[in-house]
Amino acid sequence: MSLRDDVQAIFERDPAATNLVEVLLTYPGLHAILLHRFAHALHRQGIPVFPRLISHFNRWVTGIEIHPGAKIGRGFFIDHGMGVVIGETSEIGDNVTLYQGVTLGGTGKEKGKRHPTIGNNVMVGVGAKILGAVTIGDYARIGAGAVVLRDVPPHATAVGVPAKVVVYRESDGSSRRVENLPDPELDMIAALQQRIVELTNRVKSLERMLCDGSGESKTAVDGDAEAGHASVAQVSPGQIPGEN
């Protein structure tokens, strides 16, 4: 893995990168991957403790925690980076981009392979969580804030909690939508708007009924003192349009 690939990835994917000196000195994602590559080499040689110390220092300096056991390919880019966590058995392919707050984590205390496998040319959005030994296919995209608990096929876009595949991108660059996610807030607003229209129509109908006298309330007071009450004849509910 070369420094050239990691630096080139920054210039290709971050329009804010203006010159080499700035990238080398001020990009925590680059610092994190360089420290990780050193720690990973020591980890593969079976050296105890020291790789984890490097990982701990890496987190303290960059805000990015990468276990020394994680396998990361070429052209890896962590944009902004704060809060990124990459677990021990994670495997990341080439040309992968992670944004801040991404977690590649496990789902319990099981042994063996327990963290995600990320294919080549994958983009994972801000705050996304990919949990367990799931596989994210090549060229897939994970939306911001998604929680991925199942495999995502290649060339797919997954969003939501839990994440669902909503779009497949074809080889010719076109996309094919496979699912429209519900929008509870929009549904609620539409229902309220419909209810307002219904109530407005009912009020207008009542006003017309009162104007032509057909719906005017009539009150008759019984003068018999022994009855001891007044009887009031009002508009029947059946006369109100739309009343159930």
pLDDT digits (tens, 9 = 90+) for 143-172: 999 999 999 999 989 998 888 888 887 766
Share of the chain above pLDDT 90, in %: 52
177, 200, 231 - which closes a domain:
177
Residue 142 tokens read as 């994970």
Amino acid at 77: F
Is 222 a domain residue? yes
Is 74 a domain residue? yes
Based on the domain organization, do 59 and 121 belong to the same domain? Answer: yes
Segments in the chain forming alpha helices (H):
3-13, 20-26, 28-44, 50-62, 184-211
Task: Burial-class residue 147 by CB neighbours within 10 Å (0-12, 13-18, 19+).
Answer: middle
141, 156, 177 - which closes a domain:
177
Q: Which residue has the tokens 């207008």?
A: 204
Based on the domain organization, do 210 and 107 belong to the same domain? Answer: no
Based on the domain organization, do 80 and 126 belong to the same domain? Answer: yes
Based on the domain organization, do 46 and 94 belong to the same domain? Answer: yes
Q: Are 97 and 119 in contact (CB under 8 A)?
A: no
Q: Are 235 and 200 in contact (CB under 8 A)?
A: no
Based on the domain organization, do 166 and 214 belong to the same domain? Answer: no
- Give the chain's domain count: 2
Based on the domain organization, do 155 and 205 belong to the same domain? Answer: no
* pLDDT tops 90 at residue 1: no
* pLDDT tops 80 at residue 60: yes
Q: How confident is the model at residue 209 (pLDDT cuts 50, 70, 90)?
A: confident
Based on the domain organization, do 163 and 228 belong to the same domain? Answer: no
Going by the DSSP 8-state scheme, the letter that residue 25 receives in this structure is: H
127, 161, 177 - which closes a domain:
177
Is 67 a domain residue? yes
Mean pLDDT of the chain: 83
The 8 Å CB, 24+ separation contacts for 81-89 are: 81/28, 81/29, 81/32, 82/28, 84/32, 86/115, 87/114, 87/115, 87/116, 88/114, 88/115, 89/113, 89/114, 89/115, 89/133
* pLDDT tops 90 at residue 115: yes
What is the reported pTM? 0.67
Based on the domain organization, do 55 and 123 belong to the same domain? Answer: yes
Cβ burial 188-207 (10 Å sphere, 16+ → b, else e): eeeeeeeeeeeeeeeeeeee
Res 149: pLDDT: 92
Res 231: pLDDT: 40
Based on the domain organization, do 112 and 8 belong to the same domain? Answer: yes
The boundaries of the domain holding residue 105 are 3-177
Is 244 a domain residue? no
Share of the chain above pLDDT 70, in %: 80
